[in-house]
Each structure stands twice: as structure tokens, then as C-alpha cells.
Amino acid sequence: MTILLYDLVGRDESRPFSPHCWKATMALAHKGLDISTAPTRFLEVPTIEGGASKTVPVIRDGDKVVIDSFAIALYLDEAYPDRPTLFGGEGGKAMARFIERWSQLTIHPYVTTAAIVDLHTMQDEENAAYFRQSREQRLGRRLEDVVAARDAGLTAFRASLEPLRSMLAYQPFIGGAAPLFADYIVFGALQWARIATPYQLLENSDVVAQWFCRCLDLHGGLGRKVAAAA
């Protein structure tokens, strides 16, 4: 059976950009499950599945609707135990939660700083107005004032990735020899940046950039199906 993924898009349906939806996309591919996607714009999110969620990703698998990227990965491992694991067991689930919090609190704020104006530009008129209003309220500043800080923050952002960078001296993926959901969590954050903005967050020589390229190659180059922002 095909699993339906509600995937966040802007004006261009072929450029899904949400970090959390990318986590779900990679998790579904890791499991080798067939999917169809429902391109969803910000203002459509509250209407999907009868108003089941305020955010995407949301999946429908037969009768089952699952909300939240982490919950989706947990569900997929439980519902499809014969497919490749996303967590490698209970300890893996707990540690993936640490990676999720680290990514959300360390990587997401800087991607927001770097890409917020480009993310606004990706939306159609109605959704751009919603995006500006909701984000300016959340951030307490105009989008243009947020992005003005990106050059000043770049060195500190790159330094903040040192735990990941130094780990990559031991193993090619966060999951070890092969990727797990923890890899897709961090991948989602950097893929969000890659699709939204041409601003270069990582130097090409950075081992984190090399790990990210390995993730782009996974599952038949799924991540590369959307070109980097130019």
C-alpha cells in the first residue's frame, strides 16, 4: 500500500523544503516504502486530514494518520519491523532524541537566520504574507533584520558543528557504518538550507559537507532530486 506524505512546498511544487518533511521523506525511503506526496502550502496545513495537525509532516498509512517527523519514524519502525531499522533498537531511539534536540537548538536557529528571506521569497503571495507575519511575530524582528546577522554568525555556526565533525573521524554516518534516522534529522536541517538559499553554510572541504553529500547520494540520490538554490 502506498503511504501518503503531506509535504510542505512553496510556489514551486517540485521544491519541497521543510526540514521535518525531509526527515520523513528519507525515513520512508530508508524503509523502502512506496509513497505518494500531497504538496501542501503553509495555509493548507490546518485543513489536511480534517484539521489533524498544525504542522507537517503528516502521513496517512491506510487508516492510520501520524503527525510529527519523529513520531512518523517511530511508527514506521514499529509497523514495518522487517524493513531496515531507523533506530537500531531502544537505545537508538533515545539517542536520536538527543540528536533531534541538538539539531533543533543548534542548527535550526542559524539556518533560520541565513535563509529566512529566501524562504519568504519561495512562497506565493498569500503564503508569503502569512510567513512574514508569523515569523516576524515569533522572531520579534523584520525578516530582513534577521538575515542581516548571518555573516557575523557564520564562524560560530561552523564551530558549533564540531561535535559532528569530530565524530566523523570515527565513522561515516551518525548511525555508524550506515545511516539511521539520526542522520536524516541533521540532513533535514541542512537540506532545508540547501534548497532555500544559495548562501554557503559549509566549506566544501568540511567533513560535515562530505557527510552531507553522502546523505544526498542515499536512496538513489533522493535528496538531489531537488536542485540546490541558485
Ligand X SMILES: N[C@@H](CCC(=O)N[C@@H](CS)C(=O)NCC(=O)O)C(=O)O
In the range 12-31, which residues lie near ligand X by CB under 6 A?
18-20
Strands 3-8, 58-61: pairing is antiparallel
Work out which of 4, 5, 28, 56 binds ligand X, going by CB under 6 A.
Answer: 56
Work out which of 3, 4, 5, 8 binds ligand X, going by CB under 6 A.
Answer: 8
* 117, 153 contact by CB (below 8 A): no
User: Helix, strand, or coil here: 137?
Assistant: helix
Cβ 205 to ligand X, closest distance in Å? 29
For 26-62, the DSSP string reads HHHHHTT--EEEEEE-GGGGGGGGGT--SSS-EEEET
Contact stretch for ligand X (CB under 6 A) within 68-76, 143-151, 158-166, 169-177: 68-76
Residues that contact ligand X, how many (by CB under 6 A): 13
Work out which of 4, 26, 33, 69 binds ligand X, going by CB under 6 A.
Answer: 69
Cβ 177 to ligand X, closest distance in Å? 26
User: Helix, strand, or coil here: 217?
Assistant: helix
| CB of 47 or CB of 134, closer to ligand X | 134
Contact stretch for ligand X (CB under 6 A) within 26-34, 49-57, 140-148, 155-163: 49-57
Nearest to 215 by CA among 170, 168, 169: 168
User: Helix, strand, or coil here: 85?
Assistant: coil
Contact stretch for ligand X (CB under 6 A) within 51-59, 75-83, 212-220, 221-229: 51-59
Contact stretch for ligand X (CB under 6 A) within 50-58, 105-113, 166-174, 215-223: 50-58
Nearest to 114 by CA among 9, 197, 229: 197
Q: Is 162 exposed, middle or buried (0-12, 13-18, 19+ CB in 10 A)?
A: exposed
Instruction: Tell me: does residue 42 bind ligand X (CB under 6 A).
Output: yes
- Give me the residues that bind ligand X (CB under 6 A), please: 8, 18-20, 42, 45, 55-57, 68-70, 134
